[in-house]
């Protein structure tokens, strides 16, 4: 295959580029104008808001915003930096203008819920397919409604922490929109009895392959420990709600994470569910797991 053909094949160049360090990527872009035109879009396809100074951040987004497909707003896990986002209004304004944004991760940062609501409502992109939301306080119902009403039919990944009754209600009204969803991660507050799956039918979420249902907590020491161990929290979701989603989708799931004393899996597991399962990644730490369940999972 001729070199020009390789360079114009986006799939090949992305694969080649993934093996290079950031400094090597910069070196490649400086090789020639033709290589620069190919690799600059790949170089800036992903951007992390890692507490840049405002001037640096706005300059990056202004110059390379059309290339940014994935944007990560993350806790830098650095004691010298705050989890709060500095210059939040300017940053929200910059993110909202990204025309080709496909993935937005806002993970474990301090951001007022109203600011997040503003960001989601003002997004310019029509291409969003993955959304992760985990801020210090519960997300507003309007944020979830806006995101799902606008992008629900194309989302392949949805992750929301601190599920409240309002958010559970918004989800229940929109499960039928999520026809492309493959990965669903929900975290519920302790001691609340939401049933986010109350209105889920067997026809909803036809492409679901990964389900993670977990518990959120305000115990910062425990949160830090769990983040360090790369584990998730359990949930007190009702047996009825969990039964609905497992009965409809368990045969097709590749990953299943259910962790916590509030989940009585033995009471809802049905021996009539199809076997063998397609599970590849399983995390079960629940109130009751029978030998029958383990046999089904491990078969």
Query: Could you give the count of Cα atoms lying within 13 Å of 222 in the half-sphere of its Cβ?
Result: 8
Q: Quick: pLDDT tens for 50-94.
A: 545 556 777 778 888 898 999 988 655 444 455 556 677 888 888
CA–CA gap between residue 82 and residue 101 (Å, rounded): 26
* CB neighbour class for 181 (10 Å; exposed up to 12, middle 13-18, buried from 19): buried
| Residue 236, phi then psi, degrees to nearest 5 | -110, 35
**Res 203 pLDDT > 50:** yes
CA–CA gap between residue 195 and residue 77 (Å, rounded): 33
Domain ranges of the chain: 1-38, 39-249
Q: How far is CA 185 from the centre of its chain?
A: 7
236 or 179, higher pLDDT: 179
Tokens of 39: 């690799």
Q: Quick: pLDDT tens for 112-150.
A: 999 999 999 999 999 999 999 988 888 999 999 999 999
**SS3 of the chain:** CCHHHHHCCHHHHHHHHHCCCHHHHHHHHCCCHHHHHHHHHHHCCEEEECCCCHHHHHHHHHHHHHHCCEEEEECCCCCCCCCECCCHHHHHHHHHCCCCCCEEEEEEEECCHHHHHHHHHHCCCCCCCEEEEEECCCCCHHHHHHHHHHHCCCCCEEEEEEECHHHHHHHHCCHHHCCCCCEEEEEEECCCCCCCCCCCCCCCCCCCCEEEEEEECCCHHHHHHHHHHCCCCCCCCCHHHHHHHHHHHHHHCCEEEEEECCCCHHHCCCCCCCCCCCCCEEEEEECCCCHHHHHHHHC
Q: Which CATH number fits domain 39-249: 3.40.50.300, 3.30.2310.20, 2.60.260.20, 3.80.10.10?
A: 3.80.10.10
Q: Quick: pLDDT tens for 32-53.
A: 676 677 777 777 777 776 545 5
Q: Could you tell me what percent of the chain has a pLDDT over 70?
A: 73
What pLDDT does 125 receive? 97
Q: Quick: pLDDT tens for 100-112.
A: 999 999 987 888 9
Instruction: Quote the pTM value.
Output: 0.77
CA–CA gap between residue 181 and residue 207 (Å, rounded): 6
């Amino acid at each position: 295959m001729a070199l020009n053909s390789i360079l114009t094949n986006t799939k090949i160049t992305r694969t080649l580029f993934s093996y290079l360090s950031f400094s090597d990527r910069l070196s490649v872009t400086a090789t020639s104008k033709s290589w620069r035109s190919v690799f600059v879009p790949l170089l800036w396809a992903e951007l992390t808001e890692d507490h840049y100074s405002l001037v640096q951040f706005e300059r990056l987004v202004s110059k390379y915003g059309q290339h940014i497909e994935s944007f990560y707003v993350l806790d830098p896990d650095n004691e010298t930096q705050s989890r709060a986002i500095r210059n939040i209004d300017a940053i929200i304004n910059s993110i909202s203008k990204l025309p080709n944004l496909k993935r937005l991760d806002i993970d474990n940062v301090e951001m007022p819920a109203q600011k997040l609501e503003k960001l989601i409502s003002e997004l310019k992109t029509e291409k969003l397919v993955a959304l992760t939301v985990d801020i210090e306080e519960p997300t507003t119902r309007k944020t979830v409604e806006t995101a799902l009403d606008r992008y629900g039919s194309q989302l392949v990944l949805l992750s929301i922490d601190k599920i409240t009754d309002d958010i559970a209600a918004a989800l229940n009204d929109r499960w039928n929109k999520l026809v492309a969803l493959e990965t669903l991660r929900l975290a519920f507050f302790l001691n609340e009895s939401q049933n986010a799956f109350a209105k889920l039918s067997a026809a909803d979420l036809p492409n679901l392959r990964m389900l993670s249902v977990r518990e959120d907590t305000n115990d910062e020491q425990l949160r830090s420990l769990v983040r360090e161990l790369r584990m998730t929290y359990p949930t007190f979701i009702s047996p009825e709600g969990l039964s609905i989603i497992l009965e409809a989708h368990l045969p097709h799931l590749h990953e299943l994470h259910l962790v916590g004393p509030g989940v009585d899996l033995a009471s809802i597991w049905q021996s009539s569910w199809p076997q063998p399962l397609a599970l590849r990644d399983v995390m079960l730490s629940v109130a009751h797991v029978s030998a029958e369940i383990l046999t089904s999972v491990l078969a």
